[in-house]
Amino acid sequence: MKKLLAVFTVIALSFTGVADDTAKAPAMDPPMVSTTEHSGTFGGKKINYKAVAGETQLKNKKGEVTGSIFSTSYIRTNVKDKTNRPVFFVYNGGPGSASVWLHMGVFGPKRINIPSDARDDGAGPYDIIHNAGSILDVTDLVFIDPVGTGFSRTLGKGETKEFWGVGEDAKSIAKFIRIWLRENGRWNSPKYIGGESYGTTRSAALIRELEGRFDDVSINGIILISTILDFTVDSYDPGNEMVYMAYLPTMATTAQYHGMAGAGISVADFAAEARAWAIGEYAPALLLGADLKGARRDAIRTKLSYFTGLSESYLDEANLRVHYQRFNKELLRDKGLAIGRLDSRYTGKDFDRAGETPDVDPSFYGIDGAYTAAINSWLREDLKFNPDREYTIIGGVSDWNWELPTNHWAQSYLNVAPYIGTAMRGNSDLRVFNAAGYYDFATPFFGAEYSLNRNGIDPARVTYKYYEAGHMMYIHHPSLDALITDIRTFIKAGEK
């Protein structure tokens, strides 16, 4: 992908018969910023707030502009003491996704209202409604679009390689946060960071950038939504058995949802049963490799069928190891349906019904149109930020650098969870909130538990919550209500 180009003003050269080779370079446009005043009732409280939609320029050590980060801040105005008013910095994942999903789906003062029962969102007009559940009653909100997403871009001397990587991205977001705190006079306020999916990976890398220096930005809480920290549990490399253990409980809850397993058992109880078997019997059996034979192998195959709803003959042919994409194609093959990756409640009809994996993810095309319309309508019309370029929803980056900056050896997989453990040891107030959907194949809930249950992370300061939906659990209305309540409670629990 070609790097984004900055917009330059045209400067005429003085002319005395020949061009003036000493003329200055074209001047860069100043950052665009739009500030509007609003009010609404959130969490049962009347809140007056200002919305600041604008660009923040990032500079290198020479003071040269290298990039611009677009953000949308919602700051309560009828508050006397900013010291006790928290601020929550929010982003999504990808990498390459704008913050639109958490902005217009969960936390912002307006949200998109799409079908809750795993139906397609169709075409506009969509229902953009007042978000009475927004947590503006307990915290200010800053939605961040990393470079290459939303309206954020490289500028001037900047190159995409300075921003597109695990460490590079974290450094740029940390720089933005420091600028925002300075410009808004909020250095002494309680601070929260959080994101979804790769945004949880970003949170771990970001906490290292914020708290790993002598001029720490100490964080009160990390909010993880659909967590992926240790990529061992997402890697289907030959010989890695942990990935099959991590995905098994999600296969079980999905099979139960579609009536193929777990009849008469609550989803929470069936998930607990699947967890216990996955780590207690399934993983040890897989670790035996070719030595798993006879009656023990037969018993594992039978129990695996019990949890997944797949036939024993299929599991035998698959050597007791089923990639989640193959599961999503196989479970309802007899009905001609494939299952969603982001949310396995969704089903779709594939063109190739005999294929090994789904053609597309029905849980993504079921929501994308509504969110695109909502963010553009809200920013451009209501918040008066309307540049003549596209708002990049997702897919705006390429050639991502997955190497961690501290590695001195070849890296086979990414694990940023130790950064959270280190930060907890250096910050006694740091707490973690982990939100997971039972029907999420993008970031399985057992994989998140596996990551957070080791790596030096204090289990007493981790809160786990589960929802009967998928990766973006908030598209399910009961799960949205529960998620908002849980996060509001988490933030209020940190009050001093």
SS (H, E, C) 68-83: EEEEEEEEECCCCCHH
Task: Give the range among 79-88, 113-122, 253-262, 326-335 with minimum mean pLDDT.
Answer: 113-122
Q: Positive or negative, the Cα torsion across 287, 289, 291, 297? A: positive
* CB of 261 closer than 8 Å to CB of 252: yes
SS3 content of the chain, % helix, strand, coil (to 5): 35, 20, 45
* CB of 110 closer than 8 Å to CB of 129: yes
- Span(s) in the chain for CATH 3.40.50.1820: 33-232+367-492
Read off the pLDDT of residues 394-441 as tens digits, 9 standing for 90 and up. 887 889 999 887 655 556 679 999 999 999 999 999 999 999 999 999
Going by pLDDT thresholds of 50, 70 and 90, the confidence category of residue 263 is: very high
Read off the pLDDT of residues 39-95 as tens digits, 9 standing for 90 and up. 999 999 999 999 999 999 999 999 999 999 999 999 999 888 889 999 999 999 999
**Residue owning tokens 């990390």:** 222
The pair of structure tokens assigned to 441 is 């194949």
pLDDT at 6: 32
CATH (one of 3.30.930.10, 3.40.50.1820, 3.40.50.300, 1.10.3720.10) for 33-232+367-492: 3.40.50.1820
CA atoms within 13 A on the CB side of 176: 31
Q: Determine what percent of the chain is predicted with pLDDT higher than 90.
A: 79
pLDDT at 117 over 80: no
Plot region of 320 (φ>0 → left; ψ -120 to 50 → alpha; else → beta): left
Read off the pLDDT of residues 194-203 as tens digits, 9 standing for 90 and up. 999 999 999 9
**Bond preceding residue 95 cis, omega within 30 of 0:** yes
pLDDT at 365: 67
CA distances from 246 to 29, 161, 252, 379 (A): 49, 33, 11, 39
pLDDT at 43: 95
Q: What is the mean pLDDT of the chain?
A: 90
- Check: pTM over 0.85? Answer yes or no: yes
pLDDT at 22: 38
Q: Could you tell me which of 157, 246, 242, 149 has the C-alpha nearest to residue 202? A: 149
pLDDT at 410: 58
Read off the pLDDT of residues 295-329 as tens digits, 9 standing for 90 and up. 999 999 999 999 999 999 999 999 999 999 999 99
DSSP E strand stretches across 289-352: 338-339, 347-348
pLDDT at 411: 63
pLDDT at 212: 85
How far, in Å, CA of 473 to CA of 100, rounded? 15
How far, in Å, CA of 94 to CA of 163, rounded? 14
User: Residue 184 corresponds to which amino acid?
Assistant: N
pLDDT at 15: 26
Q: Which secondary structure element, helix H or strand E, spans residue 130, and what is its range? A: strand 127-130
pLDDT at 10 over 90: no
pLDDT at 13: 27
Average of per-residue pLDDT across 448-476: 96
pLDDT at 12: 28
User: Residue 156 corresponds to which amino acid?
Assistant: G
Task: Give the range among 57-71, 103-117, 371-385 with minimum mean pLDDT.
Answer: 103-117
Average of per-residue pLDDT across 439-459: 96
Q: How far apart are the first and last CA of the chain?
A: 47
Read off the pLDDT of residues 140-194 as tens digits, 9 standing for 90 and up. 999 999 999 999 999 998 999 999 999 999 999 999 999 999 999 999 999 999 9
* CB of 309 closer than 8 Å to CB of 255: yes
Q: Is 124 helix (H, G, I), strand (E, B) or coil?
A: coil
Q: Could you tell me which of 323, 328, 332 has the C-alpha nearest to residue 361? A: 328
Task: Give the range among 9-13, 159-163, 287-291 with minimum mean pLDDT.
Answer: 9-13
pLDDT at 226 over 50: yes
Q: Which residue has the higher pLDDT, 23 or 199?
A: 199
